């Protein structure tokens, strides 16, 4: 009797393991390359509910795309160099303050303002 329970348990474990490995195998064959390092969204602006214009850079070329839930349409091709020429230089990130130190200084009453 206990032998039947052991066989049933081993069979269930075998079925679960087989399903897991079959799923992993099928997923590796059906999905494309991971990462997407060739596509970069440069900018996006909403035009209303579920509608937007997107500037996407693909393989060194920039495209203006109209995007809706039903489809994506190419509006036009843009020059990536012209996109960067009108943009002001980004300012460096302001220095981060130490939260713990500032908290305890405020708690003790010795806080003297942000450091320059």
pLDDT tens-place string over residues 7-22? 999 999 999 999 999 9
- Considering the domain boundaries, does residue 95 fall inside one? no
Domain housing 74: 2-28+38-85
Buried b (16+ CB within 10 A) or exposed e, 81-90: eeeeeeeeee
pTM: 0.44
**Which of helix, strand or coil describes residue 109?**
coil
For residue range 107-116, list pLDDT tens digits in order.
888 878 766 5
Q: How far apart are CA 43 and CA 86, in angstroms?
A: 14
Asked if residue 66 belongs to a domain, the reply is yes
In a domain, residue 19? The reply is yes
Domain membership of residue 90 (yes or no) is no
Residue 74: closest CA among 58, 90, 93, 91 = 58
Residue 92 lies in a domain: no
Q: Which of 58, 86, 83, 60 is nearest to 72 (CA)?
A: 58
């Amino acid at each position: 009797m206990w032998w039947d329970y052991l066989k049933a348990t081993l069979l269930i474990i075998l079925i679960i393991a087989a399903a897991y490995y079959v799923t992993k195998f099928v997923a590796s064959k059906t999905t494309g390359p991971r990462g997407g390092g060739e596509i970069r969204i440069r900018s996006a602006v909403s035009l209303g509910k579920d509608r937007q214009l997107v500037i996407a850079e693909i393989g060194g070329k920039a495209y203006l795309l109209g995007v809706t839930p039903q489809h994506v349409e190419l509006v036009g091709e843009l020059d990536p160099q012209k996109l960067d020429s009108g943009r002001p230089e980004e300012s460096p990130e302001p220095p981060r303050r130490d939260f713990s130190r500032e908290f305890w200084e405020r708690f003790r009453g010795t806080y003297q303002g942000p450091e320059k």
